[in-house]
Amino acid sequence: MRVLHHPILGDAPAARAVTIHVDGRPVQALEGEMIASALTAAGIKRFRTTSRGRDPRGIFCAIGRCTDCVMEVNGRPNVRTCVTPVEAGMTVNTQVGLGVWK
């Protein structure tokens, strides 16, 4: 959910909408925001599943330190979505285990 009006921060600054593709589906994002933000705003919480247990994982530290939020971005696995900005047309896929290295 986006916080559009905030008592201290004020109104959210206007930003251009861009489309990214998450597991093949188009998702609206805001230019310049982090992939993890766009997904959170779209209600997506599960970003990847683990190698052995196939357990769901998502954001943990949100500052690019813990690597829990990694996904396959434009074909490359292990991308930290909380510190990587979106780009128009980007493909973001749920990473399964260690992903597929293309």
Partner 1 sequence: MQKADVVVIGGGAVGTSAAYHLARRGRKVVLCEMRNIASGATGRCGGMVVHCYGRELNIEKTDLRLMYTRASTRIMREYQKSFEIDFELRQVGCLDIAIDEQEFEGLKELLRIQRSLGDTEIELLDKKQTLEVMPNLNPELIAGSRLRRSDGNLNPFKLARAQALEAQKLGAQIRTQTRVEKILLSGGEVQGVEVADGVIEAPHVVNAANGWAHQLTPGLETIPVRELAMVTERLPKLPPQPFEMLCLGDFAYGATQTASGNYNLGGPGPARPPGYDYYDERIYVDEVYRVMSYIAVIFPKLAEVSVIRSWVGTMAFTPDAMPSIGPMPGAKGLFIAAGYPDGMAWAAVSGKLAAEHICDGRTSLPIDHLDPGRFLGQPKVRWPQPYDLTVCHDFLTRERALKHAK
Partner 2 sequence: MKTELAVIGGGPAGLCAAIEAAQRGVEVTLVDENQRAGGQLFKQIHRFFGSEEHLAGVRGLTIGEMLLEDARKYGVKVALNTVAWGLFSDRQIGVTAPDGVDTLEPQKVVVATGAIENSLSFPGWTLPNVMGAGAAQTMVNVHRVLPGQRVLIVGSGNVGLIVAYQLLQAGAEVTAVVEALPGISGYQVHASKIVRMGVPILCRHTILRALGTECVQKAEIARVDERFNPVPGSERLLDVDLICIAVGLRPLAELCHMAGVRFEYYPALGGHVPLHDSTMQTTLPGVYVAGDVSGIEEASSAMEEGRLAGIAVSVALGKVDPQAGAKDLAEAGRRLRALRLGPYGDDRHEAKEKIVQSCGQGAR
Residue type present at position 15: A
75 binds partner 1 (CB under 8 A): no
Residue 6 in the binding site for partner 2 (CB under 8 A): yes
Paired tokens of 70: 């990694």
Compute how many other C-beta atoms are within 10 angstroms of the C-beta atom of residue 61. Answer: 12
Structure tokens at 59: 């954001």
Q: What is the rounded CA–CA span in Å between residue 100 and residue 41?
A: 27
3-state DSSP call for residue 35? helix
Q: What mask, x for binding partner 1 by CB under 8 A, covers residues 22 to 51?
A: -----------------------------x
Q: Is 101 in the site for partner 1 (CB under 8 A)?
A: yes
Residue numbers at the binding site for partner 2 (CB under 8 A): 1-4, 6-9, 12, 33-34, 36-37, 40-41, 45-47, 50, 55-66, 68, 82-83, 85
